[in-house]
Structure 1
Amino acid sequence: MEMDSPKAATPAAAGVNLASMAYRTILEMILDRRIPSGEVIVEDRLATALSISRTPIREALVRLASEGLIRKEFNRPYRVREVSNREYFQSMRLREILEGEAIAAAASRIDPLRLQAMKAEMLRLRDEPKIRFEDHWAADEELHTLIAEASGNAVLAQIIRDLRVTTRLFELSGLPSRIRPDCDEHLDVIAALETGDPAEARAAMERHIRSLAKDVLGEIAKS
């Protein structure tokens, strides 16, 4: 019996794939500061760099705008969103409140297997001689998202995701000294979750977020 040959991707599917590829690439460029905060995004330049047409580039930019990473004013090009000191610290205060609420709700609901996997990853990163910044960010994102989603409140989880976009854009200027303290604090959060005690979990999360905000304030004071 002859096997059917694989079907070629339809034009629509190919377009979706190109848009997804463009989204991931532009996102990485923003998060790596290759496109800094406030910089204009030039569609033609991106299309040339990625060797694709402007259509998937535009689709990717619409998606990035919907996630709050870039902004577009009327009759003007997209720009990478800039986050002020004031907006950052206000967002961090909200994160302290809302992520504290989320983790308290998640304490009795979180998947223990996923929590163990996160613990193993944090231990690996903590003991890594040279931690890659992107690996740290990925683990940070995974843990905070896991907790927000385990809260069982989809609206709360979405608000937390939006706030994390804001604070991450601000922190992208680089806080390399925070990588190992973050790992230790994340391990404290995981340990608190393992107890199943909502109050202990809330306290660990609040300490973590306050610690980060304090270190950022210290970096700002130096500049």
Structure 2
Amino acid sequence: MDSARQGKEAAKATGGVNLADMAYRTLLEMILDRRLRSGELIVEDRLATALSISRTPLREALVRLASEGLIRKEFNRPYRVREVSSREYFQSMRLREILEGEAIATAAARIDPVRLQAMKAEMLRLRDEPQVRFEDHWAADEVLHTMIAEASGNEVMAQIIRDLRVTTRLFELSGLPSRIRPDCLEHLEVIDALADGDPAKARAAMESHIRSLAKDVLNDIARA
């Protein structure tokens, strides 16, 4: 496993302050960049050796990842990266369309304009960047959708949206091609609608974005 050097460097960087946090960040990155793939078993001994840590902080990291819905553990079985079926994915996307449409309509009058402009600048940068790192795209996507959900003021809805996004992200990480440029263009439409302070326009932009993503995924599956 090529994470051995990365784990040692991360341990040096933290000065041993919090090995569980270091392990969590490393494992999260391994899931997001597909070094730990959907359905893959997580062998604790091997990971602990690769990260140069004991199993105690590793287990703390695994519990945290499980609480966020990224990995699962069955009785008397090792942890496994959570698998998401296409059925669960499309059902989750339909719920996201409904809930994130409601969240953005509520957020239109509440969102911080300074943060919104900073988000627009980042999306423009990603749009115009010839070679966008997958991780940078995911990070910007996460910031925007989370910012909108939280700006709705409905904490229960925001948490459900976060959970649904974990589900859909895991499915999209299973090998589907990325759609960075279309995402950036759709995100810019969402941001402009929010900047206008128009709840109906913002809702329409968000719902269109989520339907567009689901449609592209469906087409990718059909071509496979």
Q: Which has the larger radius of gyration?
A: 1
Letter in 1 for 2:40: E
Q: Deviations over 1:22-65 (max 9, x none)?
A: 00000111111111111110111110000000000000000000
Give the Cα separation in 2 of the matches to 1:91 and 1:173: 16
Give the Cα separation in 2 of the matches to 1:21 and 1:171: 25
Q: Deviations over 1:93-114 (max 9, x none)?
A: 0000000000001000000000
3-state DSSP of counterpart to 1:159:
helix
Q: TM-score normalised to the size of structure 2?
A: 0.92
Paired residue for 1:103? 104
Structure 1 gaps, min length 5: 1-12
3-state DSSP of counterpart to 1:173:
coil
Paired residue for 1:157? 158
1:115·1:190 contact (CA, 8 Å) conserved in 2?
yes
State the number of aligned residues.
211
Structure 2 gaps, min length 5: 1-13
Shift of 1:89: 0.1
Q: Deviations over 1:3-32 (max 9, x none)?
A: xxxxxxxxxx98771000000000111111
1:16·1:56 contact (CA, 8 Å) conserved in 2?
no
Q: Is 1:188 equivalent to 2:200 in the alignment?
A: no
Shift of 1:173: 3.1
Q: Deviations over 1:80-136 (max 9, x none)?
A: 000000000000000000000000010000000000000000000000011111100
2:38·2:174 contact (CA, 8 Å) conserved in 1?
no
Paired residue for 1:8? none
1:1-223 superposed matches below 5 A: 17-176=18-177, 178-223=179-224
- Aligned sequence identity (%): 86
- Cα 1:74/1:173, change in 2 over 3 Å: closer
3-state DSSP of counterpart to 1:130:
coil
Give the Cα separation in 2 of the matches to 1:15 and 1:77: 26
2:190·2:205 contact (CA, 8 Å) conserved in 1?
yes
Give the Cα separation in 1 of the matches to 2:26 and 2:139: 15
Give the Cα separation in 2 of the matches to 1:132 and 1:153: 32
RMSD between superposed Cα atoms in Å = 1.4
Q: Deviations over 1:143-187 (max 9, x none)?
A: 000000000011110000000000000001345451100000000
3-state DSSP of counterpart to 2:127:
helix
